Amino acid sequence: MVGGGLAGALLAWRLREASDRLRVEVLAGARATVDASAVSGGLVRGFEPDPAASAVAADSLAELRADARLREWSGYREIGSLYLTPSGADPAESVRTVAERLPGSAVLVNATRLRRGFGFRGLREDAVGVVERHAGYLSPARLRDRALDWAAANEVEVARTSVIAVRDGPAVRTSDGAERRYDAVVVAAGAWTPPLVEHGGTLRTKQIQYGVYRIALPDMGAFVDDDTGLYGRPWSEGTFLLGLGGDRWDVAPEAVEPDQALAGRVLDVVRRRFGVTARDPVPERVVASFDCYRSPAGLRLLPVDGRPGVFTFTGGSGGAAKTAVAASRAAASELLNTL
Ligand SMILES: Cc1cc2nc3c(=O)[nH]c(=O)nc-3n(C[C@H](O)[C@H](O)[C@H](O)COP(=O)(O)OP(=O)(O)OC[C@H]3O[C@@H](n4cnc5c(N)ncnc54)[C@H](O)[C@@H]3O)c2cc1C
């Protein structure tokens, strides 16, 4: 495994749990403190406008809620979630998908309920929201670290080694100049994946940014407003994590800089949407990071064309915290079928 972020860590854990005959190695690189998993907002819910994405997210959440070890590893907090769906979307199929996996969790709400119950302003009359009882947030960094600790305690070799090239064979060349051969190489290096594995140009990187603002949104748990692009969750007493979709594509992870204009726009949108102003217009902190995007979006194991035994496990597209538990289960089973 190349990469020990959330994706690589969970896949290593799944592989080891599925087979004790397999020798698994994680070459985790040296960037764990600055990767996407280290700073992710960790919002998790079952609903996504796309029913296929909803199935993976709801499977993940159902397994997480049912498994005391995963709850402890991830520090899951169940505070509920609201998703204001995009104009013209029909959320019914995704809501059914969630209901099959998390019975009684998701209900549809109309514009009146969104105004009265959540304080929304400026809504379309046909606005539809999905409220989920079983949703909230977790710590991707903690989940990643616990899975890697478990793997290391169960005969998975976890090394802070960086891979500088992925070769046919399959094999990898590491920063100390050594070449290591394997039956399969999975590149789960998040935003660092594209330069390691070309993959026909289907993988891109994108900056993701949020701020922590001194602001009170008393009726809100975790939320996404697909009309404005605003999302957030309570951060600590009196503060809220808030972000807006950005447009900085193909950024090199090392070149990411906070977009101060975007950080300011967040408060304009909150004022318009909820009629609320921050106690301090300057956020307590701005977190600017990145993720690997793929179209169609979603964390999946994919073979690399023309390179037998080489796979990628990335492409979470800003949302793998909510899908990684189920996606890693599927990826482990697909990989074991090829070995
Ligand atoms: C600011 C932000 C907020 C987010 N909020 C949410 C959210 O609320 N909900 C949600 O579902 N998702 C969210 N996400 C997305 C989610 O966190 C990511 O999709 C997920 O963490 C990606 O995990 P990963 O393992 O693919 O990548 P990463 O966490 O980036 O890990 C990649 C790893 O690869 C290693 N690596 C890199 N290069 C090499 C190399 N050459 N050799 C060896 N190892 C290497 C690095 O050390 C790193 O540890 C957010 C992301 C960001 C950035």
**CA–CA gap between residue 334 and residue 4 (Å, rounded):** 19
Could you give the CA distance from residue 312 to residue 309 in angstroms, rounded to a whole number? 10
Cβ burial, residue 92 (10 Å; 0-12/13-18/19+): exposed
pLDDT of amino acid 33: 75
- Distance CA(254)–CA(206), nearest Å, equals 12
- Distance of CA 14 from the midpoint of ligand 1 (Å): 18
**pLDDT tens string 23-55:** 999 999 887 678 999 999 999 999 999 999 999
Question: What one-character DSSP code corresponds to residue 256?
Answer: -
Residue 44 exposed, middle or buried by CB count within 10 Å (0-12, 13-18, 19+): buried
Taking residues 179-203, report their average pLDDT.
Answer: 92
What backbone phi and psi angles, to 5 degrees, belong to 244? -130, 150
- Is omega for the bond preceding 258 within 30 degrees of 0, making it cis? no
pLDDT digits (tens, 9 = 90+) for 309-339: 999 999 999 999 999 999 999 999 999 999 8
What is the per-residue pLDDT for 31?
74
Asked if 82 and 100 count as a contact pair (C-beta separation under 8 A), the reply is: no
On the 0-12 / 13-18 / 19+ scale of CB atoms within 10 A, 77 is middle
- Of ligand 1's atoms, which has the minimum distance to the CA of residue 253? 30
- Cα 188 to ligand 1 centroid, rounded to whole Å: 9
pLDDT for position 39: 97
Determine the Cα angle at 293 with ends 221 and 54, to 5°.
45
Q: What does the pLDDT average to over 197-216?
A: 91
Distance CA 221, CA 209 (A): 19
The pLDDT assigned to 130 comes to 98
Q: Are 172 and 180 in contact (CB under 8 A)?
A: yes
pLDDT at residue 66, rounded to an integer: 98
User: Which ligand 1 atom lies nearest to the CA of residue 290?
Assistant: 53
CA of 286 to the centre of ligand 1 (A): 17
- pLDDT value, residue 89: 87
What percentage of the chain exceeds 90 in pLDDT? 90
pLDDT value of position 208: 97
Helices 51-66 and 92-101: crossing angle, nearest 10°? 20
HSE value, Cβ hemisphere, 13 Å, CA-based, for 153: 6
pLDDT digit string, tens, across residues 265-293: 999 999 999 999 999 989 999 999 999 99
Domain boundaries of the chain, sorted by first residue: 1-41+139-202+295-339
**Averaged pLDDT for residues 296-302:** 95
**Are 259 and 199 contacting, i.e. CB atoms less than 8 angstroms apart?**
no
Cβ atoms 49, 85 nearer than 8 A? yes
The finding on whether 188 has its CB within 6 A of some atom of ligand 1 is: yes
For residues 252 and 144, give the distance between their C-alpha atoms in angstroms, rounded to a whole number. Answer: 23
The C-alpha atoms of residue 7 and residue 18 are separated, in whole angstroms, by 16
Of 90, 23, 102, 21, nearest in space to 59 by CA: 102
The widest CA-to-CA distance across the chain, in whole angstroms, is: 63
Residues 104-163 pLDDT 10s: 999 999 999 999 999 999 999 999 999 999 999 999 999 999 999 999 999 999 999 999
Over residues 204-208, the mean pLDDT reads 96
pTM score, whole prediction:
0.97
Q: What percent of the chain has pLDDT over 70?
A: 99
Chain-wide mean pLDDT for the chain?
A: 95
Task: Decide whether any atom of ligand 1 lies within 6 Å of the 2 Cβ.
Answer: yes
Q: In this predicted structure, what is the pLDDT of residue 100?
A: 98
What is the whole-number distance in angstroms between the Cα of residue 136 and the centre of ligand 1? 19
Please tell me whether residue 160 adopts helix, strand or coil conformation.
coil
Q: Is the CB of 319 under 6 A from ligand 1?
A: yes
Q: CATH assignment of 1-41+139-202+295-339, given 3.30.70.1450, 3.40.50.10800, 1.10.150.120, 3.50.50.60?
A: 3.50.50.60
Residue 283 CB–ligand 1 contact under 6 Å? no
